[in-house]
Amino acid sequence: MATVLTVILNWRTPAMTLQSCEAALQAMQGIAGAITIVDNDSGDGSFETISAEVVARGWDQGTVPVQVIQSGRNGGFGAGNNVGIKVGLPGGARPDYAYILNSDAFPAPDAIRALLTHLENHPRTGFAGSFIHGTDGLPHRTAFRFPSALGELEGAARFGPISRLLKRHIVAQPIPEVTGRVDWLAGASLMMRMDVLDRIGLFDEVFFLYYEETDLCLRAARAGWPTDYVLESRVAHIGSASTGMKTWARIPRFWLDSRRHYFTKNHGHIYAAVATLAHVAGGVLWRLRLLVQRKDRGDPPHFLRDLIVHDLGWAGQGGQGATPAKVKVSPEG
């Protein structure tokens, strides 16, 4: 019987993390494996609170045991999940699959089994992710193409004729209506074949937050292990509950670092510069339209300026600016 290790990363959301774990426990019934909650150095008593609750509820002694561990540092989303994956099942046994679940995500009772069944039935698929919807039932867009320079231009310009011309490069895809192949999926609910992780490695910990699952799916695809979107696996997701993304007053340094690192690592320095120029060109076109049309700006204030200044600073440091910012921000994707 295939084994599944579910990893839930907590950062200062103990009550929500316990709620997510409770939903995961129901979804893990009948599946061999365990759940590991990783506290990502919250420093607010989360670790102690969650540990005590797990024992009080008897989850540590259940048929699907729950263990709570401390990461020791807030290294970001990828680093925190890596800690849980490396620990493995209770006793150190290696699982067949690692399933990462956001602390603000709540799988339906059959959601985890649907992912497991899909991967078992498709042995050449590396990763499988869920249909994500809000707590209001509205679907979230979580299926994407890999980022590219032309995709940067299209996404920043937000102009119909350009989008039609570059339709094969649009990153954000329509919500799939059937189960099938995608480039990459958001990491709120993602099951990964351990054989694949053994070959390509775990999350790149240079990414503090954002682009880490994009990079992982790209590495898997290049190694011949694609990613599938599984419509039958339904997961409710609050979204940005810990990151505060919806209320950003400025684009964070860690997002800019992650974006630049992704393009540089996977396509080279010159391509990364071209991708930024493409984004700036599209952004200028968009802002010219805003002069005559009343539309939501769609970006945090000063976004283009911050992007340009960041990449110029990165170039001035000889390409060393991709080191993740040491900031206290939720490590959840």
**Mean pLDDT on 221-236:** 98
**What are the tens digits of pLDDT across the range 261-281?**
999 999 999 999 999 999 999
The structure's pTM equals 0.93
Residue 90 structural domain: 3-245
In the prediction, which pLDDT does 323 show?
40
Q: Give me the helices (H) in the chain, please.
A: 14-27, 46-56, 77-87, 111-121, 149-157, 160-165, 194-200, 212-222, 253-267, 269-290, 303-316
**What are the tens digits of pLDDT across the range 279-291?**
999 999 999 999 9
In the prediction, which pLDDT does 295 show?
79
Is residue 329 one of the residues assigned to a domain? no
**Mean pLDDT on 6-11:** 98
Is residue 312 one of the residues assigned to a domain? no
Measured between alpha carbons, how far is residue 46 from residues 50, 71, 107, 156, 195 in Å? 6, 12, 22, 39, 32
Is residue 280 one of the residues assigned to a domain? no
In the prediction, which pLDDT does 316 show?
67
In the prediction, which pLDDT does 313 show?
87
The per-residue pLDDT of the chain, averaged, comes to 93
What is the Cα–Cα distance from 174 to 275, expressed in whole angstroms? Answer: 23
Q: Would you say residue 136 has pLDDT above 80?
A: yes
Is residue 311 one of the residues assigned to a domain? no
Is residue 281 one of the residues assigned to a domain? no
Residue of 80, 15, 5, 75 lying closest to 46 (CA atoms): 15
Q: Would you say residue 330 has pLDDT above 70?
A: no
Is residue 88 one of the residues assigned to a domain? yes
Q: What is the CATH number of the domain that holds 29?
A: 3.90.550.10
pLDDT bracket for residue 294 (50, 70, 90): confident
Number of folded domains in the chain? 1
| Residues pairing with 10 in the sheet | 39
What is the Cα–Cα distance from 33 to 54, expressed in whole angstroms? Answer: 17
Is residue 324 one of the residues assigned to a domain? no
In the prediction, which pLDDT does 246 show?
55
In the prediction, which pLDDT does 241 show?
46
Residue of 53, 99, 55, 80 lying closest to 242 (CA atoms): 80
Q: What do you get for the CA distance between the two ends of the chain, in Å? A: 30
Q: Would you say residue 324 has pLDDT above 50?
A: no
Is residue 72 one of the residues assigned to a domain? yes
What is the Cα–Cα distance from 177 to 210, expressed in whole angstroms? Answer: 26
Q: Would you say residue 14 has pLDDT above 50?
A: yes
**Mean pLDDT on 28-34:** 98
Backbone angles phi, psi at 210, to 5 degrees: 80, 140
**Mean pLDDT on 136-163:** 97
What is the Cα–Cα distance from 186 to 333, expressed in whole angstroms? Answer: 7
Measured between alpha carbons, how far is residue 139 from residues 100, 160, 242 in Å? 20, 23, 20
What is the Cα–Cα distance from 104 to 247, expressed in whole angstroms? Answer: 17
Of the chain, the percentage scoring pLDDT greater than 70 comes to: 92
Residue of 90, 130, 126, 112 lying closest to 31 (CA atoms): 112
pLDDT bracket for residue 248 (50, 70, 90): confident
Q: Would you say residue 329 has pLDDT above 50?
A: no
Burial of 98 (0-12, 13-18, 19+ CB in 10 A): buried
Residue of 113, 115, 293, 271 lying closest to 190 (CA atoms): 115
pLDDT bracket for residue 333 (50, 70, 90): very low
| Residues pairing with 181 in the sheet | 228
pLDDT bracket for residue 326 (50, 70, 90): very low
